[in-house]
Amino acid sequence: MLKFFEGRVISDKASQLDVLDGLRGLAALLVVLSHTSNAGYFFAPGLNFTGVGKTGVYLFFLLSAFLLTYQFVSKGSEAFTRGNLTNYALRRFFRIYPLYSVYLLAALLSTSAFVYLFPNKSPSGIPFVLDASEFMSEFFLVSAKGIEWSVLVEFRYYLLLPILAFVYTRLLKNRLLPNILLTVLLMAACSMLWPPSTYWENHHGLGIYAPIFLMGSVLALIHHAIKSSGVLLPKHKLSLEVVGGISIAAIILLFPSVNALLFSEVVGEKFHREFILYAILWSLVLMASIHGTGLLMNILGNNFFRYLGFISFSLYLSHGSIIRLITPLGLGEYLSAWAVLFVSIVFSTITYRLIELPASKIRWPMKKKSS
């Protein structure tokens, strides 16, 4: 497994932290667990993860904003050279579009084949039904029919991030207090313009999820300040570790199945709209994992979670189709769940190796600095 990790090309080795890969793997696993439970498949009696998928997606959003913003923050003014900005755009494009395009093409071609072979039946497709006009709309991130909605949201933040990073680093000079105040104001403005009450009308738009992304971005500034100054004492690390553990417990309490045990009605879906709450809780987990005593870092940065983190995008896109293919086999509610996880990991490993890894090596050649 360690050899598998060595093949990865990362954007910035200075920002590489094993625990971040692990957290990304945890996010992907939460989505898979949620959708298997939604399908009526469970990994063990009593383990119902219905409705926790959004929790994992919110962690994805926070991590993406944190990592990409940190690359701008750590490079300073150099990050805004033409070469670096070109590389940023290329890496974001090739990180998403090769696999995303295959995913959409599979939907388009399978739908077309089904319509051709069975003209008198309702259309079907893997991973979902998609016609040519819908394909163009999804490809250009105008709309989304399935779980790829998060790709649409995240890519829009990619486009805006360089502007925010420029304000953070060039205009406000990475100063924490002004940047934190600016971020709080932006989060408040987004919550007013796209309030959680309009969740169902705006749940594919960036604005409603912006507080989570913004929290990730400002965390990158805080992480940079801590890393540069080394101000955390052992007692601070312990306190942060405890707060991180409490935050994980709070997130678990927000799981719908846990709500059902504690309340007379399942209220988890209501909590899904509390974007700032999730932003705060996952932020505390993230910072505790990086700057705590090391307990969460060791747990979340283990090789299993890191492995899932490497293949997380493939895993995220493919597992829904695997569920549909496993269902007709009639393996039962427990064996089906494990079969979905196993097949999804194997399939995602293959697509990662064949599509994502080669695409990750595409970049704009940078001029070497003269000594």
Residue 371 has a pLDDT of 42
The dihedrals phi and psi of 118, each to the nearest 5 degrees, come to -130, 70
Residue indicated by tokens 């957290």: 23
Residue 362 has a pLDDT of 81
Would you say residue 166 lies in a domain?
Answer: yes
Look up the domain containing 88 and give its range. Answer: 2-360
Per the omega criterion (within 30 degrees of 0), is the bond before 365 cis? no
Q: How many Å apart are CA 25 and CA 21, to the nearest integer?
A: 6
Number of domains, the chain: 1
Residue 256 has a pLDDT of 84
Residue 46 has a pLDDT of 85
Residue 202 has a pLDDT of 79
351, 318 contact by CB (below 8 A)? yes
Would you say residue 368 lies in a domain?
Answer: no
Which residues lie below 8 Å from residue 18, measured CB to CB, with a gap of 6+? 297, 301, 306
How many other C-beta atoms are found inside a 10 Å radius of the C-beta of residue 260?
A: 15
317, exposed or middle or buried, with CB in 10 Å at 0-12, 13-18, 19+?
A: buried
The radius of gyration of the chain from alpha carbons, rounded to an integer in Å, stands at: 21
Would you say residue 213 lies in a domain?
Answer: yes
Residue 91 has a pLDDT of 92
Residue 366 has a pLDDT of 59
Would you say residue 172 lies in a domain?
Answer: yes
Kindly give the parts of the chain with pLDDT less than 50. Answer: 7, 11, 267-268, 370-371
202, 208 contact by CB (below 8 A)? yes
Residue 44 has a pLDDT of 93
Token reading at 307:
């492995």
How many helices and strands, by DSSP H and E, does the chain display? 18, 0
63, 20 contact by CB (below 8 A)? yes
Would you say residue 369 lies in a domain?
Answer: no
Would you say residue 299 lies in a domain?
Answer: yes
Which of 134, 187, 191, 143 shows the shortest CA–CA distance to 164?
A: 187
